[in-house]
Amino acid sequence: MMKTLLFSISLFFIAAVTANAQPCTPQGNETTYGTGNIWIGYVYDNSNLTVYKGYMNEGSASSPNFDESFGSSNGNFNTNGCPVNATTFSVRYKLTKTFAAGFYDFTVGGDDGYRLSLDGGATWVINRWNDQSYTTSIYTAQLNGSYNIVLEYYENNGDNRISFNVSQGCSSLDDTNLYGTNDVWRAYVYDGTSFNQYQGFVTRGTLNNPSIDENFGGSNVNFATSCTGVQTETFSVRFRLNKTFASGSYTFFVGGDDGYRLSFDGGTTWVINQWNDHPYSVSSYTATLNGSYNMVLEYYENGGENRVTFALASASPLPVKLMSFSGAALNKKAVLNWTLAAGSNPDYFEIERSADGVNFTTAGKLTVPSTTNVQADMNFSYTDATPLTGKSFYRLRITDLTGIVTYSKAVALTFNNDNNQSFSIYPTVVNGTGSLTIQSANTVKSATIVVTNAAGVQISQKGIGRLQAGQAVSFIPFTATVAKGMYIIRIADDNNILHTQKIIVQ
């Protein structure tokens, strides 16, 4: 009985070993492409896509994206066919997929090697076919129609992982060929130092001022754009601006950490080209321009600090052409008129006034609207409602859009204020420490006395209050020692100038 039992057990063990030793049959034909977002992955028991073992599927009906780790790094994983040890193996995934017209971002990761093809394996748009820890690569493509996608992967000991993701790219939302206008750049931002994956755009510069000084929020932070944004460690930016220049000479200053370059012809040629890794530096270029130009400023950052700058200055000797400047004394006011020639680029005017024709102060300011474009001769006007009594001198200080200042010649106007007959101030020659007396023929509700020097700089101010008709009031005009020369006394009532008179300090 015991012998019979032992014999039976031996037969069972032999049968079991024989059954396990029988070779399995790999399923799948190694050539058919998956459809409906379901990949067919053909698995091989070698890291060089040899010794076929069977197939597996990845993806779902709604998305071809997947992230696969194949279980233990030295265990077996099953296929539709034969199991494969996860120590050294390889997979060739195949999928036929139809894409609507647009831009698409492909992100592939792997530990170890991986590569991606959109033409059945003829060319590789991503190729990281080497031993490595898990890393990812990105590729952006403009697609339309059906494509035979091949994703190959191998593992050569250690951890294993392969991932695939495709999504509609930011480029489907934006036309990256559009240029900014009115001195506002359109800046197209990319992940990668060679404009690899488009991540959206921002605008830089302001109306009539294309200057840029950008550090993108700091190093290795997320920089927000119109789309997904970018991490500021390895990225690139293409700035575009269509700008019209009046005939003249201009100097451009571009700086960057790392690479930067500047073009006036849409990127065909580069007049400034510092396309290499380096600390922040600045380059300049001077050119004679006339008309509209498609300006392109490109920049990339390859780790560490980041910064890009742009500025320009007109090198023309006369940035604003003033054709005429004149003035007239009308109704106790100074009315000033001037004309600029076509092609001028004014930013603002300062109207300066002087009692002696030497020392000028600002009497008013006229800002040119940002929409003003001096295509033809243009007239401007300003009225000084409170001119100095006696002879006054006026001139223009013109600042153009590049910051260059131009002065006009001075014009002289004479004013005789009738209100002067209602007041008297004496003496008119003082030693700087004595008092003055003021007397009014009419009652003033709230008189204020303001003392300025000839340049219009205020020296002192004193409130007198109500001043009765015929009342004489003494006051000390200077609270500290002043230089010898001419000074001006003004009497005001609720900010209305009633009387202006000159005195001399000996």
Using the 8-state DSSP alphabet, how is residue 370 labeled? T
Contact 271, 312 (CB under 8 A): no
Bridge partner list, 486? 504
| 227-232 contacts at long range (C-beta below 8 A, 24 or more positions apart) | 227/170, 227/173, 227/174, 227/198, 227/199, 227/200, 227/201, 228/170, 228/199, 228/200, 229/189, 229/199, 229/200, 230/189, 230/190, 230/191, 230/199, 230/200, 231/191, 232/301, 232/306
Distance separating alpha carbons of residues 43 and 55, to the nearest angstrom:
5
Range list for CATH 2.60.40.10 in the chain:
322-415, 418-505
Task: Please tell me the predicted confidence (pLDDT) of residue 260.
Answer: 97
CATH number given to 418-505: 2.60.40.10
Q: Regarding beta strands 333-340 and 212-214, do their DSSP bridges make them parallel or antiparallel, or are they unpaired?
A: unpaired
Per-residue pLDDT of the chain (506 residues; tens, 9 = 90+): 444 444 444 444 444 443 344 578 999 999 999 999 999 999 999 999 999 999 999 999 999 999 999 987 888 999 999 999 999 999 999 999 999 988 888 999 999 999 999 999 999 999 999 999 999 998 888 899 999 999 999 999 999 999 999 987 776 678 899 999 999 999 999 989 999 888 899 999 998 889 999 999 999 899 999 888 899 999 999 999 999 998 888 889 999 999 999 999 999 999 999 999 999 998 989 898 999 999 999 999 999 999 999 998 765 444 578 888 988 877 778 889 888 887 677 888 999 999 888 888 999 998 876 544 445 567 888 999 888 877 789 999 998 877 778 888 888 887 765 444 467 787 888 877 778 888 877 778 888 888 888 777 888 888 888 888 778 888 888 878 888 888 888 887 766 677 888 888 88
Task: Please tell me the predicted confidence (pLDDT) of residue 1.
Answer: 44
Distance separating alpha carbons of residues 64 and 132, to the nearest angstrom:
24
Q: Which two tokens stand for residue 118?
A: 């959109």
Is the previous residue joined to 83 through a cis bond, with omega within 30 degrees of 0? no
Range list for CATH 2.60.120.1560 in the chain:
39-168, 173-314
Task: Please tell me the predicted confidence (pLDDT) of residue 494.
Answer: 65
Contact 324, 338 (CB under 8 A): yes
Q: What is the pTM of this model?
A: 0.43
Task: Please tell me the predicted confidence (pLDDT) of residue 246.
Answer: 86
Task: Please tell me the predicted confidence (pLDDT) of residue 81.
Answer: 95
Tokens 């300090």 sit on residue:
505
Task: Please tell me the predicted confidence (pLDDT) of residue 172.
Answer: 63
CATH number given to 39-168: 2.60.120.1560
Q: Regarding beta strands 429-430 and 496-505, do their DSSP bridges make them parallel or antiparallel, or are they unpaired?
A: parallel
Distance separating alpha carbons of residues 33 and 409, to the nearest angstrom:
83
CATH class entry, domain 173-314: mainly beta
Task: Please tell me the predicted confidence (pLDDT) of residue 96.
Answer: 98
H/E segment holding residue 124: none
Distance separating alpha carbons of residues 18 and 25, to the nearest angstrom:
16
| 366-373 contacts at long range (C-beta below 8 A, 24 or more positions apart) | 370/207, 370/208, 372/346
CATH T-level assignment (fold) for domain 322-415: Immunoglobulin-like (2.60.40)
